[in-house]
Amino acid sequence: MIQARYGWTDAEILALPYSRFAQLARVVMEAKAREVRLADRRAAFIGWQIAGALGASSSFGEYLEALGLAGDPIEADVEMSPEEIQAEKERAFENARRALEAFQRKGGE
């Protein structure tokens, strides 16, 4: 993981003092965990949109809580302006509408 993140060779990594290696390994693993967590939250957002279009009434926060993805510090990393939030909301409703139409067409066949 260190090679992929920093572009270092095995020889460069093996030349590091153990304490520095351990520190880098921890930083890289934490960064990877944040990336995975953010990807999970993005996927959950799509699921929440579809669930809402199908009649679910929970908030996104409640949905994240049910999936075990709530209360993460990543929330502070993602800042959107009110205009971006509105645009994302409109895209979400359009995606949900299209998904619902696809499910209805599939059911009618």
pLDDT at 1: 75
In whole angstroms, what separates CA 80 from the centre of its chain? 15
Residue 11 CA: distances (Å) to CA of 6, 7, 22, 48, 50: 13, 12, 16, 46, 49
Q: The domain containing residue 61 runs over which residues?
A: 2-108
pLDDT at 79: 67
pLDDT at 43: 92
Q: Model pTM greater than 0.85?
A: no
Domain count, the chain: 1
Average confidence (pLDDT) per 10 residues, the chain, 109 residues: 83 88 88 88 90 85 86 58 82 82 74
In whole angstroms, what separates CA 39 from the centre of its chain? 3
